[in-house]
Amino acid sequence: MRISAALVGVLAVLACGVLVMTTMPLHSYRGALPALTPQESALADRLRAHVSTVAQQEHNLRNPAALEAVATYLERQLALMGYAVERQEYTVAGKPVRNLQAILPSRTAPGQRTVVVGAHYDSAHHTPGANDNATGTAAVLELARSLRDMGDASADIMFVLYTNEEPPYFKTPLMGSQVHAKALAAQKTRVIAMLSLETMGYYSDVAGSQKYPWPLSLLYPSEGNFIAFVGATGDLGLVRTVVRSFRSHTSFPSEGIAAPRFIPGVDYSDHAAYIDAGYPALMVTDTAPYRYPHYHSSQDTLDKVDFERLARVVSGVERVVTELARQAP
């Protein structure tokens, strides 16, 4: 009897813990999506153009010329928007690589607080990386474009494009986001939020198209038609803030979770480097291997990306970043 009561108590505590890490403010959008606005249609076209350029072929240190071509394209795009692009250069296996950084400074309190919006621009081996992660890369470019005239932010917005996220550098000190996050920490930069834009362009309304690590399948939809906001347990507050903001402004399905990092996928992106550095961070994602059948394959090509839905998501994330930067404490 005592054993049974103890087991019930443990299960109750676990259930409460799961509810805490998965319960989000407001409600996910349901139903038919509204027609795209003219602005969203134009955004979808620009996102397609970026992804088409970035994902022409495998681009990583196995193909350094292609990686360099992508980096040069990204630099040029940011410069055309009026940004001063800073290179964070380092050497890997005798080859030069670089992160790219552009800052939109606060007009009221420059240098006091920072919101980081980042994505990796390298692809995995044997793939052109259209969804993973040309979609996140394109989203960073378009957020930099849409926010450049923002005049009332209380925090700087730092747009960062990382190299070397993919294996064999994933979760090593040579990962671009690890280099960047450690540099910010060494400079004592006050990062109030970091959003990693990771594999954002694949959606399906088919039941069973979405998978999860157990027991999350009991709590989330079986259709892979939503965008996910994923953080570690310590960043529950940030995840809830971001989900509330997204749902308040955006007619698009969304889910959020702040879970232990031992759950596979929770820290599978560049936000992990910022968590390691002590900064609040989360990932914005279509859940990648839990949904996308072409993940890390040669079939991760332009035709797999739903640019209309991606444009809706990027428009929503723009509003999230705006609120984070305006409401900075």
The model's pLDDT over 276-286, given as tens digits with 9 standing for 90+, comes to 999 999 999 99
- Mean pLDDT, range 305-316, rounded to an integer: 98
200: amino acid identity, one letter: M
| H/E element, 162 | strand 156-162
User: What pLDDT does residue 327 have?
Assistant: 87
Q: Using an 8 Å Cβ cutoff, are 270 and 313 in contact?
A: no
pLDDT(14) > 60: no
pLDDT above 90 covers a percentage of the chain that reads 88
Q: Using an 8 Å Cβ cutoff, are 60 and 166 in contact?
A: yes
Q: Distance between CA 302 and CA 50 in Å, rounded?
A: 10
pLDDT above 70 covers a percentage of the chain that reads 94
Q: Poorest-confidence range of 4-8, 183-187, 232-236? A: 4-8
pLDDT in tens, 110-146: 999 999 999 999 999 999 999 999 999 999 999 999 9
Q: Distance between CA 190 and CA 188 in Å, rounded?
A: 6
154: amino acid identity, one letter: S
pLDDT(19) > 90: no
| H/E element, 269 | none
- Mean pLDDT, range 247-268, rounded to an integer: 96
82: amino acid identity, one letter: G
Q: Distance between CA 71 and CA 64 in Å, rounded?
A: 10
Q: Using an 8 Å Cβ cutoff, are 167 and 125 in contact?
A: yes
Give me the chain's average pLDDT, please. 94
pLDDT(10) > 90: no
Number of Cβ within a 10 Å radius of residue 252: 20
User: What pLDDT does residue 152 have?
Assistant: 86
pLDDT in tens, 52-100: 999 999 999 999 999 999 999 999 999 999 999 999 999 999 999 999 9
pLDDT in tens, 56-68: 999 999 999 999 9
- Mean pLDDT, range 281-303, rounded to an integer: 98
- Mean pLDDT, range 289-305, rounded to an integer: 98
Q: What is the pTM of this model?
A: 0.94
User: What pLDDT does residue 12 have?
Assistant: 45
Beta-bridge partner residues of 159: 102, 117
Helix, coil or strand: residue 287: coil
The conformation of residue 35, written as its DSSP 8-state character, comes to P
pLDDT(6) > 70: no
Number of Cβ within a 10 Å radius of residue 95: 10
